[in-house]
Each structure stands twice: as structure tokens, then as C-alpha cells.
Structure 1
Amino acid sequence: MATLGRPSLLVLLLGLLSVTADDSLVIMPSAQQRSVFEGESLFVSCSSQGKNVQRILWTGPEGNQITDYKGRIHVEEGAAAHNGVDLIFDNILRRDRGNYTCSANVDGKEVSKSFELFVDKEIDFLDTPTIQYLEEGFDSELICDITGDPEPTVTWSFEGKKISYGDKYAKVSDTSNNLIVSNVTLKDAGAYACKAVQVSPRITEMKDLSIDVKVHHKPLWNDDKTKAYSYVDGSVNLTCEVKAEPEANFTWTKDNGVIYPSDSAQIFNDNNTSILQLKVNDSRMFGDYLCIAQNKLGTLERVIILQQGEKPAVPTAKVTVEGVDRLELSIDAKNHPEMPIVGYRVQYKEAGEDWSRAQSTYFKKASIYVLENLKNDTPYVLRAASKNAAGFSDYSVEVTKRTEKIISSASTSASFSISSCVALLLFLLVSASLL
């Protein structure tokens, strides 16, 4: 094997030094690797403290010189003026990955320094729905459509507890992050979370997405109301309330005929609840009413029997205590033995106002009833109606009472001061007479 003489070896070493990195060329930040997420921005400065700096420039991963002074990737004059050049990245793309090299001739030497740019893709849940549905009685799939680079590892949780795969839960496949829930019941509804973690020598990133999961199921009764009462010329609400997903549609019938809105019947449907509001014009309106609740998964039927009851007696009402912002009431009404009074509705207004502007409060039956947050030194007019299972009575005789006046602290102080002065004067007069 041939050997190199001392002069030849020296020439070779000098040649190597002329094309390798040198402390006279500085890249900031100084890390040899940069890791950023797609869409982010970055700038890297290259400068030299050498006395004679020539031709400082940047080259990209394919060896192309970066000379543009504007654009998504461009260069700008650095803080060291002609001795420095900044490399600017705006909205970094995956294709920008690779080695970037700053080179220059510094004091007669060709020097260079490089860094490697890694472009990672942030965790993205794409179009994963935040509200999802399972089907009762079936094996159903929850979606977690996710991307990221490095590829994320995905785990699921339910009501804050990590899900373990087994008989109840399973992955769709090794290439899918979706979750299979087996033999779905109503207990499987609730708060799920899809959690994604990226781990690499360069980054660690974690994100999770909360998913509100509902279970499609047939209607189930949410109450047990099968009886109602009213009286001729009274009014009554018949209520059907269910649990259902999707929301149930309701139909009311009587004597095999569908009930439609009219002067004597109104129907209000909202949030799996239907209220049939009746004005009982005659005794023929008593009887059986059929409520039908239905969605695509099933149908429920219930008969509510409207029976004739006793109209409650008109109560007597009186004010027992007046305050500056409250009135305490005593209300009483005669009970029917089989249909006792359960409460009272009190209407009240300022004197001179129309009853259409009156406020109304319902009280369960008690011994004292208090109207609060009233104006001070103001006359109020009130009346009461009693309630039993069949409805409300007519209103009582109107009662008028004025709230008390507020006694200001200034008036109290003035009164106290005058009284004190009078007492002092009497004391002085008595003392003088004794002398």
C-alpha cells in the first residue's frame, strides 16, 4: 500500500479544512436539526465575524441556491449586513424537508454549515363528528378519523376511564382508529374521548377530541300519568313524556278519531313531550284519550283517562303583615273530601293597573304565603284562586294593601339629634333651678 509523504498529507488536510465547517461561520439557532409542524414559520440566520467575507449564500436540499428576496422561502440581509444572510420560511410544507447549507468564503477559506429541516404534520381529527350515534341492540362503530406525521397512537376513553379492548370494545382494524361497541344498550350513551399521541426523537404531541355519544332507541315512558281530572267549563293539560332517540312524533286520539288543533284543543310538542290542552266545554269531553309516541325504532301507546272532578271552592285571602318590599298573606278554601286543595295561584298588580299586566305566583298549600320584591310605599291589589286535581277555581275578592314606607337614616338621625337637644335643654333648666 502506498503511503503519503509529509508534504502530500499536509496538502490533503488543508484541502479538507477548506470545505468543512468552520467556527468563523455561525448558524443561529445552532441546533443541527430543526423540527417544525406543517404550516409554521421559521427563520435561520447565517453570519460570519471574519475580516473578509465573500459570497455568503444558502442552498436548499437539492443543491439549488436560494436567491429570492421574497416568496414563501426567501433570504434577507441579516443583522451583520453583508456578513450575514437570514433564511426565511413562511407556511412550511412537507416538501421543504431536507438539508439546508450556508456557505461562504471567509478570509480566503471555503466554509459551510448545515442544518436538517424536519417537517412534521400536527394531529388533525379531520371531519370526526363531535356528536355520534350508536344503535341499540347492534354492534355499532364510533369514528375517530385522524392524521399526523409521525403517525399518532390512538386510545379511547368512556366517562373518563380508558377503554380496554375485549368483548365489549374492539378496533375496526389495524389501519383504522374507529371503535366498535358491541351489543349496544342505553348505558353506552355518554362522553367518549379519542386521544392521539405522537412520539418521536424530535417531538411529543398529544391531543384529544371529546365525542358526545347518543344511542338510537325506541320510545320509553318517562312518566306514569294515566289519569287526569277537570270539570265542565274548566281546562286541563294531558301530558305524554317519553325518552326517545331520534325524537318521537306524537299523535292523540279519542274514540278512534285523531285530535287536531281546534278552539277546544291545542297540542304542544317539544323535546319528547306532548301536551294536549283541553277546554272542557261539555261532559262528552270526558273519557279515554290515547297518546301514541313513535320513532323509526318503535311505537308506544298509553291511555289517559280524563275524569270529571269537583271544581275547587273560591278561597278567601287577606294580608296579615305589610313590609317595605313584601306582603304576607293568609289564604284558605273549603276542601272537597275526595279532591283536596293542593295550592293557590296569587295574582297581584299595582293599584290602577289592568289585570293583564298582573304578575302571578303559584304556592303549594302552606300556612303563610309571601309576595316579595315589591315597591315600597305602594298600594297593591291581589286576588287568589285555589287548585285541586281538577284545576283552578274562580278568583277571590280583590284585596288592596299598601307596602310600608322606608324611613331614611337621615330622618332618623335628625329626629335623634332634636330629641337629644331637647333633653339636654331640660337637663340644664332643671340644674339651674336647683342652684
Structure 2
Amino acid sequence: MLSITPSGDEQSVFQGDSFFVSCSSEATTVQRVMWTGPEGQQITDYKGSVPYNEIPRIHVEDGRSGHKGVDLVFENITRMDRGNYTCSANVDGVEESRTFQLFVDKRLSFKNTPAVQYLEEGVSSKIRCDVEGDPAPRIKWRFQTRDIAYTNDKYAVSPDGPSGLIVHNVTLNDAGEYQCMALQLSLRHSDIKEFPISVKVHHMPMWLDDQKVQAYSYVTGEVNLTCEAEAEPHANFTWIKEGEVITPSDSVQIFDDDHKSILQLTVTHPEMFGDYVCKAENKLGTLERVIILEKGAKPAVPTAKVTHADVNSLHLALSAKNYPEMPIVAYRVQYKMAGDDWKFAHAMEFVKGDKYIINGLADDTLYVLRASAKNVAGYSDFSEEVMEKTKKVKFDSVFASCNAIGSSAAILFSLVLSIIFL
């Protein structure tokens, strides 16, 4: 009897797959085993009968495991390979045949779907999910893990196909993670795949909260004016003073980030005080904000002294004259080992009223330190330098421990000798 393996009248595979079907018989005499394709054509190309690089995708090979038969081999299957395939042979003098139908389905694929997509604020916009598959899949949508229903006015199926999701009256709350779920179902198999889509909303710039609209400095002082605006696409920032666009110079630096711009000024003359306009702009709109730079009082030079030196730390006392309208809010302390250059110094910032302690120092080492005071207008000049040496580690307790260990070892050695000479 002639049989094919895998058994069954139908074989289902996916496009691009490779597989083979074996046709064989356990009869005594098996002759003229051959395969024919959907158009009745004989498949006669044997592996080994043609050069390796010329072997057809569909060919036959000698039966495996020594059985009497022929294998039909498919490589990189295409949709054109669908149809009926028949194996025929003379089995003990009787002509027999077995046929199976080959189905070729197309796997789900999201290869043309952008992973990041954009909606437009205030209008209806579409999210694309370009999914391929055969049988054609059914599409479901989720937003932040919740299924999207079409029972309200917020969402709708795109008129050009179910693979598009229309979001009406877009707001910033519509930004987030969407999942396009494709469900493929046939009598032969089922498949489910999800594709995550990060959705951002294009919107005009919006000021971030808690931004200062007033700043202080003094001639020879430095000050940073900061402007922060969230926007999609990111905003372009422009700084303006008295109608003129500000550009970098020896006294002006501009540092831009995704949602922030910092105008760093070194105040070289009184004319630099006044109104500074920050403009944040993208294709959807423009915002402007005025930051007023006023003349302030430079902090007084503080006094600094070491109140206590420890093995790895120095305790400080810091003080500076207060201007009632601009009180001292912090101190900056620089410190270094004696003999080092100040450009290699370390620095610590202390809020006024905290404990002023420098930790992590080396023992028995001479340090030099200096301090400056800070108010809303900036930092003062540095104080006079203060020198102090950290304490040396005491080894008395260490020697005591070593002596105790040595005594114990001597006693143990005496006991061992006593045992040996018994």
C-alpha cells in the first residue's frame, strides 16, 4: 500500500517555510515512484542530478531512512505553490496513488507600521497599523492596555480600511502606548500578534510651571536666565533684548536642550540689566515670556574658620554680612591639599544653617580652604585662605590587640610542645 507522511489530505504551511512530504510503501515490489504537481506536471528534478546552485525550490530526493519511496521537498514556499500534489507508484504490480492539497498562508507582519506616530492636537488624526497576512486578519486596538471601543465619539475605524484608527478631537491625554492586535483565523490555524505604537501629540509650546520671571546680578557677576517650554515638535528658543536677537559673545552664552534654553550672562556693564524676552516657537504656535534682570547687591565676603579637626573631616564655622533685602542663602567651600593648585580643588555647597562639615579627607594631611557666600544675585569673592591639618590615626588600640593575639599564640605554642614531649 502506498502512503504519504505527514498523513492527511491537506497540508498547511506559511509562505517562506520549507518542508517535505514522504511517499513510500512497505510492499515487496515498489516501482516508478513519482510526484506530479497541480498542473499535472511531473516533478523530476533530483537533488544530485543538477549542480547545487541550480536545485529548484521544489524537487524530489531519495526516500529517507532506507524506505522504498521518494520525498517531495519544498524550499521557500510561495503562494504560487498551492494546489494538489500526487504521488503514484506501481506497488506489487498494482498502480496506486495518493494526493494531498497544499495550502500556503501568509504570516502576520507589521513591517510597514511606524513604531512612533504623531497625532495633531485639536483635530482628528489617524494611527496606522499596516498589517499583512492571508487569511486577512481582524484588527483590534488597545490604549494603555485597555480595549478601544467604537461606541463613543472618540474613536472610529478609518474609512480607508480597518487597519487605521481615527482619534477625534485630539488632546495631550491621547499620547501614550497603543497596541495594534491582529487576529488571523482559518480552518487550519490561528495566530495573534501585537505591535506596540508609541503615539505623541503635536502641540504648540506650553510653559512649564514654577519659572522665575525675575533675576538679580551685579556688574562683574554671572547669572543664568532659564526658559522652559514643553512642545512637540521641540520648540526653537530665541532670546531678545530691546528688539534685538541675542547671539553668543564673550559675555553671553546660550545653552539649548530639548525643552529648555539657558541664557548665561557675565554682566560687564549696567546696560545689561533690563527685560529679556524668551521666545519658544514650533510650527503650531509661539509663546513669549519676559524675564527681568535687576541690579542686586553682591554678597559680602564671608569669614571662615575651622572649629574642629578630626581624622577624616574638618568642621567649619561660616558667616557673612546680610543685606536685609538679599540675605545669604548658601555658602560654597573650596578645599585642596596644601601645595596643590586651586584649579584641582574640590567644592561643596552648604545651605545656610546646615552643619558645615567636609568629610572624606585623608588623615594627618594639611588642607587649605576658602569660602564664598551666595544670595539671589550670585556669589561673593572668596574669603581669606584657611589652613588646617587633619588628625593622625592613633595606633594604641591596634598594638594592644596585636599584643593580645601574640600572648594567645604563645600559650597555644607551649601547649603543643607539652603534648609532643609527653
Normalising to structure 1: TM-score of the pair? 0.83
Contact persistence 1:375–1:403 (CA under 8 A): no
Q: SS at the partner of 2:163?
A: strand
Q: Which residue of 2 aligns with 1:11?
A: none
Q: 1:386 aligns with which of 373, 389, 402?
A: 373
The letter of the residue matching 1:102 is C
**Structure 1 67/343 Cα, relative in aligned 2: closer, same or farther at 3 Å?**
farther
* Separation of aligned partners in 1, 2:376 and 2:95: 101
**Structure 1 37/354 Cα, relative in aligned 2: closer, same or farther at 3 Å?**
farther
What is the CA RMSD across the aligned residues, in angstroms?
A: 2.8
Q: Which residue of 1 aligns with 2:35?
A: 58
The letter of the residue matching 1:188 is D
Written as runs of structure 1 = structure 2, the 5 A alignment for 1:12-411 is 24-68=1-45, 69=47, 70-81=55-66, 83-165=68-150, 166-173=152-159, 175-223=161-209, 224-315=211-302, 316=304, 318=306, 320=308, 322-323=310-311, 331-369=318-356, 371=358, 380-396=367-383, 397-402=385-390
**Structure 1 96/366 Cα, relative in aligned 2: closer, same or farther at 3 Å?**
farther
Shift in Å, 1:346: 3.4
The letter of the residue matching 1:347 is Q
Q: Which residue of 2 aligns with 1:432?
A: none
Alpha-carbon deviations, 1:92-124, whole Å to 9, x = none? Answer: 111111222222211112222222221111112
Count of aligned positions: 399
Alpha-carbon deviations, 1:16-41, whole Å to 9, x = none? Answer: xxxxxxxx323222233222211111
**Structure 1 327/149 Cα, relative in aligned 2: closer, same or farther at 3 Å?**
farther
Q: SS at the partner of 1:261?
A: coil
Contact persistence 2:139–2:162 (CA under 8 A): no
The letter of the residue matching 2:166 is I
Shift in Å, 1:238: 0.3
The letter of the residue matching 1:318 is V
Structure 1 residue runs without a partner (length 5+): 1-23, 425-435
Contact persistence 2:311–2:364 (CA under 8 A): no
* Separation of aligned partners in 2, 1:52 and 1:79: 17
Contact persistence 1:317–1:383 (CA under 8 A): no
* Separation of aligned partners in 2, 1:35 and 1:319: 86
Shift in Å, 1:384: 3.3
Shift in Å, 1:401: 4.1
**Structure 1 122/347 Cα, relative in aligned 2: closer, same or farther at 3 Å?**
farther
Contact persistence 1:286–1:306 (CA under 8 A): yes
Written as runs of structure 1 = structure 2, the 5 A alignment for 1:1-16 is none
* Separation of aligned partners in 1, 2:4 and 2:176: 53
Q: SS at the partner of 1:310?
A: coil
Contact persistence 2:311–2:362 (CA under 8 A): no
Shift in Å, 1:145: 1.5
Contact persistence 1:327–1:403 (CA under 8 A): no
* Separation of aligned partners in 1, 2:362 and 2:4: 77
- State, as a whole percentage, how many aligned pairs show the same letter: 56
Q: Which residue of 1 aligns with 2:51?
A: none
Shift in Å, 1:329: 5.1
The letter of the residue matching 2:153 is D
* Separation of aligned partners in 2, 1:405 and 1:110: 103
Alpha-carbon deviations, 1:43-73, whole Å to 9, x = none? Answer: 2222221111111122222222212123211
* Separation of aligned partners in 2, 1:417 and 1:153: 81
Shift in Å, 1:153: 0.6
Alpha-carbon deviations, 1:108-155, whole Å to 9, x = none? Answer: 122222222211111122321111111111111111122110111111
Shift in Å, 1:331: 4.1
Q: Which residue of 2 aligns with 1:19?
A: none
Structure 2 residue runs without a partner (length 5+): 48-54, 412-422
* Separation of aligned partners in 1, 2:82 and 2:361: 73
Contact persistence 1:330–1:367 (CA under 8 A): no
**Structure 1 250/174 Cα, relative in aligned 2: closer, same or farther at 3 Å?**
closer
The letter of the residue matching 2:73 is I
* Separation of aligned partners in 2, 1:331 and 1:35: 83
